[in-house]
Each structure stands twice: as structure tokens, then as C-alpha cells.
Amino acid sequence: MRFPRSCGTLLHPTSFPSKYGMGDLGDEAKEFIHFLERTGQTIWQVLPLGPTGYGNSPYASYSAFAGNPYLISLDKLVQKDLLTEAEVKKAELPVTTVADYEGSYQIKDELYKIACKRFYGDQKGGKSKHFKQFKENNKFWLDDYCMFMACSIENDRRPWNQWDKGLAQRDKKVMAEFRKSHTEEIDYYNWIQFEFFSQWFDLKMYANQKGIRVVGDIPIFVDHNSADVWSNPGYFAVDKQGNRQLVAGVPPDYFSETGQLWGNPLYNWKALKKDNFSWWVERFRQMFDLFDSIRVDHFRGFDEYWEVNAAETTAINGKWVKAPGKALFNTIKKELGELPIIAEDLGLMTPTVEELRDEFNFPGMKIIQFAFDSDSTNSFLPHNYPQNCVTYTGTHDNDTTIGWYNQAPEQEKHRVREYTRSDASEIEWELIRLGMLSVADQAIFPLQDFMGLDTQHRMNLPATVGNNWMWRYTTSMLYNIDEDRIRALVELANRKQGDNEG
């Protein structure tokens, strides 16, 4: 699919300002959409929206289908008369540029239980046609997810392969008894998902009405401790007890000398193909409902993936194994039609990966921060771009542009100054300008670069644990952005809202 010439901002909802410890889907999200509209931008890109586990990484989720409950806006629950202003007032936390996940989880867990009780009780929401329709529309994954979460809580959040055998291996009799004795907990998780998706679709519709396309993100792999692996173990490289046998990662690269050992169980592609890739079709079907287009993380893994034995402690001792990417995307296209996909094709690409990307006309990604470590043939330099690509100054995995430049080797700094014909005193704007004026159909920039922020505002440092995914901005930081400068660049680069649709 070809996308219109356009531009936008990369920002995860957890980074919105909020009185409740972390960003959510409330009014501050709409204020950000207003910022995009005022500056002529037409793209908002987010990270995965699933429920996160330890470490709060959007790429390690309890489900490939469910939404993150902690993105639910408490203020919107007040508007629905599910909470009172006095109740949420007591839950307020200091507004800083660092997310207080633990504090937020604690206060929201308490308030969600109150809201849920009112939903099923006072409002009789459990009998509403909207709630019933939601459950029917999402029956492919919802029942299993709600059961998984109830079981997880009952087992002190231990990984599912450490539960009692009956639950871990989904014995029908044990499952039925558990469901009967934990109806209230299962109902709670049904309501949580109903509320998340209600708020998300309201926000997406608001963005679309303002001319903003929302770009989602689909991680190629799922977490081992997830409803997906628990409910479909035959689709994954796990043994009969649910223990991982083969796991995912990448070999040594730009980000890590020992590679990255992600630990996600690899797919049993033979079993998936036998079922006509039904699990993947349903996953993409939902993503195309949630977003206007999606970035497919680690696109190379659909052509070949790095296979590591689960007993390894690093990703060094692995091997590349072929994946059925062409057959998969042909099936998805046959079932769902047009594929509005962006391929995350960073790292070492092979001719077969590029062939897979180009066969389906997926735009790849060009990171400007990667452009200056070699000569003029570097594919990340804007003069070497194809038109069908998406350019970024950096992504959530990169430092901010100011932080990157400050720590870059002197030779790279020299190349930057030479290429931009500047003294790099406003390096973030120099790279934004390069992206805006490039031939790339889409240009997307992290909000931190529009704000001119340094390394301490970085979102994620790959291959590290702790202090990631925590960055937030304050309301005043958004208002202090030079919107006139952005709008002028948008117009100069012919990326103006509405001018290039069709």
C-alpha cells in the first residue's frame, strides 16, 4: 500500500500528562491530537497497547489482543458515573516527567473494582447490548484472556507453566470448576477490556475526525507468560508442560555486542500453516480495526528468525531459520484485503527480506541517526531514500537526537555538520528538516525531538532492564513547542494536512 505524503509524531499514551501517575486515554490525549492538528501533522504513531508485565515494556504483554487496563482514564469513568470526583481526587499523584507505574497501578486497581461493581450493579451494564456485542465480537480471544488473568492472580502472578497441572494444561473439568468459583474475577476482566476498547475507539474516532491517522505497532513475538501461549500451546515452541524450548532474539548488532535474547517462545510455523494461519489472521484483523495502519516490529522475522535454545544465557549461539512470510501475508491479504503495513526493516537486511517487503509494497523505515557512520552511500542518508518509506530522526529505541549527537564520535558529528551545512547548535531541527524535505512518503518524529530534549528523556535503551518506558511530558512542555516552526516545515515540505490524500 502507498501512503500519502504526510508527517506526524511518535508518542506512546503512557507519556501523556496525568494526575494519576501515568498517561492515559483522557483529555490530555485530545490535547495532543489538537497539537497535531494545529501543526498540520496527520499521523500519530503509538507503541503496542497491550497489558504489560514486569518492566512495563509494551513489547512484553499478557496478550497479543487485549488492551492495557491502566491506560483507562479515571476522569472518563467519572463522566460515566462509575466513579465520583471525590474518589479520584484522593488518587492524584505528583505530575512529573517520570511515570509512577506502581503508584498508578495501586490506585487504579482499587478504583476499577469500585467502577466495575457499579457497572454490573447500579447501571446493569453487564446486560447492555453494547457489552454483549463486545464480548461476541471478541470471543476469539476474550474468554481465554479473562480466564488467564483470573488464574494468574490466583497463582500470585507466577508464569502459567508453574500453575497446578489442571489449569496449566487446561483440563476441561478443572477449567469449568475454576470458572464457576471465580465468576466475579472473570467478569471484572471482561469489563476492564470493554472499558479500554470503548475509550480507545472514542479517541481514535476523535483523531480521525481531525484528519489524523493512527499508526499502531504489532510485536512479531508474544510473551511466554501470556494468554496466547497458554491457550494455544501447539502454535509455539513449548513442551507438554509449557516450558520454552526455542526462543527469539537477534544476533550481535548496533544495540548489543552479545545480541538480544528476548526469550519469547518461537512459533510452530508448521502448526500455524496447517490451520491456515487463523491465529495470525485474527490478530491482524483486530489490529486493522484498532489502527489506520500498523508498524510490524522485527519484520525480518517473517522471512527468517534467530533461533536460540531456551537454555542459553545470551543470543550469540543461535541460527537463522526460514519463516513462511510470503504464504502468511498472502493468506492475510486474501482474508482481509489491503494491508496498510509499515515494515520495521532495521538491522542487517538480506535480499530475501527486501524481496518479501517489496513484493507486498510495504514501506520500510529510515532512521536519520544511523546515516552518518559511513560514507555517502549510506542507505539512511535522505538522498538515498526510495519514495515508499517512512523516515524518522529516531524511534523509541534510539536516544533523543540531542542525546545521540552529544555522544556521537567526532567523525560522525563532522559528517552531520557537513551534510546539514550547519554548526549543529539545533541538531534536532536539522534532522527534522532533513526528514521533512526528503522524498519519503511519511516522516515521523519522536515528540522529544520537537521539544528539544536530551538523553534523560529517552524512552528505551535496548538490552537493558529498568528505567525504560517511563518518560512523560508535562502540559507546559507541549505548549512550549515552536508550533509555527513545525507548521512552516510541513508546508514547505508539501506534507500539509489534506493536500495529499487519495
Residue 310 pLDDT > 60: yes
> Are the C-beta atoms of 96 and 472 separated by less than 8 Å?
yes
Containing domain of residue 131, as a range? 1-216+472-502
Asked if the structure places residue 95 within a domain, the reply is yes
Asked if the structure places residue 234 within a domain, the reply is no
Residue 349 is predicted with a pLDDT of 86
How far is residue 299's CA from residue 68's CA, in Å, rounded to a whole number? 24
Residue 426 pLDDT > 50: yes
With 0-12 / 13-18 / 19 or more C-beta atoms within 10 angstroms meaning exposed / middle / buried, residue 455 is: middle
Residue 502 pLDDT > 50: no
Residue 358 pLDDT > 80: yes
Q: Contacts from 131-135 at CB under 8 Å and sequence distance 24+?
A: 131/191, 131/194, 134/193, 134/194, 134/197, 134/198, 135/190, 135/194
Active site residue 397: yes
Q: What is the mean pLDDT of residues 349-362?
A: 96
Residue 1 is predicted with a pLDDT of 78
How far is residue 386's CA from residue 432's CA, in Å, rounded to a whole number? 18
- The amino acid present at 267, given as its one-letter code, is Y
Residue 89 pLDDT > 60: yes
Return the HEC string of 165-227: HHHHCCCHHHHHHHHHHCHHHHHHHHHHHHHHHHHHHHHHHHHHHCCCEEEEEECCCCCCCCH
The catalytically annotated residue of 223, 397, 399, 428 is 397
Instruction: Please state whether the predicted TM-score (pTM) of the whole model is above 0.75.
Output: yes
Number of domains into which the chain is organized: 1
Which letter does DSSP use for residue 373 in this model? S
The catalytically annotated residue of 24, 195, 297, 441 is 297
Residue 235 is predicted with a pLDDT of 98
Active site residue 303: no
Residue 458: left if φ>0, alpha if ψ -120 to 50, beta else—which one?
beta
H-type alpha helices, 232-349: 269-274, 278-290, 325-336
Residue 463 is predicted with a pLDDT of 76
Active site residue 275: no
C-alpha distance from residue 104 to each of 15, 57, 98, 163, 347 (Å): 13, 16, 12, 28, 36
Residue 252 is predicted with a pLDDT of 85
Asked if the structure places residue 107 within a domain, the reply is yes
| Higher-scoring residue by pLDDT: 464, 214 | 214
Asked if the structure places residue 450 within a domain, the reply is no
Tens of pLDDT, residue by residue over 328-341, are 999 999 999 999 99
Asked if the structure places residue 71 within a domain, the reply is yes
Look at the block and give the residue holding cell 469513568: 77
Q: What is the mean pLDDT of residues 420-445?
A: 98
Residue 192 pLDDT > 50: yes
CATH at residue 144: 3.20.20.80
Tens of pLDDT, residue by residue over 239-275, are 999 999 999 998 887 767 888 899 999 999 999 999 9
Residue 398 is predicted with a pLDDT of 97
Tens of pLDDT, residue by residue over 371-413, are 999 999 999 999 999 999 999 999 999 999 999 999 999 999 9
Q: What is the mean pLDDT of residues 289-312?
A: 97
